[in-house]
Structures are given as C-alpha cells and as structure tokens.
Amino acid sequence: MMKKFKFLLCLSGVVLLSACASSPMSGSDSDGISVIRMASNQKCMDEIENNPTWIVSSKLLSEDQKQKKKREVCKCVGDNAPKMLSKEQLALAAIDSKAKDAYAALATTKTSAVCASEMLN
C-alpha cells in the first residue's frame, strides 16, 4: 500500500512538472514584452542621433524640443517593438540577455524610422 502511494505521489509530481514544462511561454510572454520594451527604448535613446530621419527632422528644433521629441520617439519605439517579434522570441528575450539584445536591436531598427517620422511631423 505504501509503495503504491509513493508511486502515485511521484507520478502526480511528474505530471505537474511536465505540465509546467510544456507551456514555458505563459509566464515569459509578458516578461518578454517588458524586457523588449525597455531594451528597445534604451537602444533608441542611445542611437537616435544617428538615425537619418531624426537628423533631418530635428534640425529646426531647440534643444528642449529635441529632448522632448527624443523621449516621444523612443517611447513609440519601445511600445511598438514587441509587436515586431514572435511569442517565442519574446519568451527567449525574457531569459537570455544575448537574445534580448539581438531582438531589441532588430525591433528597434524596424520601428525607429516609422516612429521618428510620425512623432516629428
């Protein structure tokens, strides 16, 4: 009787563990969105001065206006960057810093020109 109980207890533990392992993205999905948002926003802030759209569009802005627009553009980039990635990429970004950097760079590149032109017009 005791062996059967231990076996059933062990078996239920295995079933629970396999259920958790079979859906690893459920918790990581929203984490990945947050990670990519923050990383893309920061990457945008670091690189916006080299963006051709920014260079042309910000020439007539004062320094205060540039700073305000820079924050607006990069917020747009951060908000839209996760939409450029799959759920798998977002989940991986949440747990792997190299993947986060690579995916943030990709998503930032895809969104920065659009956001810059939208925010500066």
For 5-58, write each residue's pLDDT tens digit.
454 344 444 333 333 343 444 455 688 899 999 999 999 999 999 988 888 888
Task: Say what the pLDDT of residue 28 is.
Answer: 56
Helix (H, G, I), strand (E, B) or coil at 86: coil
Q: From the DSSP assignment, how many helices (H) and strands (E) are in the chain?
A: 6, 0
Mean pLDDT, all residues of the chain = 80
Task: Say what the pLDDT of residue 116 is.
Answer: 82
Distance of CA 100 to the CA centre of its chain: 7
Structure tokens at 93: 């970004």
Given a cut of 80, is residue 110 above it in pLDDT?
A: yes
| pLDDT tens per residue, range 36-50 | 999 999 999 999 999
C-beta pairs of 49-57 under 8 Å, 24+ apart in sequence? 51/112, 51/113, 51/116, 52/113, 53/112, 53/113, 53/116, 53/117, 53/120, 54/116, 54/120, 57/116, 57/117, 57/120, 57/121
